[in-house]
Amino acid sequence: MLRLLQNSIDKRAGLLESNTNAVRLVDGSGDGLPGLILETYADRWLVSTTGDSLIPTVREWLRDQEISCYWKRLDQHQKESPSHLAGPEAS
């Protein structure tokens, strides 16, 4: 799973050098990671999942990246703010 995650990010690394600061780095099923979306917004990562939590190995991997990272559950019926997961908190 972590290999798929890193491969997805590596595949889109060139997009980070363009004139945008918002990129979808992992696109769930399209990248072999159903239920997991990872986007970057202005040097912060947002992880969205369809499940109630992140898999512990993914959570630890994200913490090891030393990037400001937030998590939220994708639920059309219950909107919640993302919770801080790792790195410096946005101010």
Could you tell me if residue 91 is inside a domain?
Answer: no
* 19 assigned to some structural domain: yes
pLDDT tens track for 27-68: 999 999 999 999 999 889 999 999 888 999 999 999 999 899
User: What ranges make up the beta strands (E) of 1-91?
Assistant: 22-27, 36-41, 44-49, 68-73, 83-86
First-to-last alpha carbon distance for the chain, in angstroms, is 32
Q: What's the number of domains the chain is made of?
A: 1
CATH number for the domain spanning 43: value is: 3.30.750.80
Q: What is the CA radius of gyration of the chain?
A: 13
pLDDT (0 to 100) of residue 8: 95
Domain containing 68: what range?
2-86
pTM for the full predicted model: 0.89
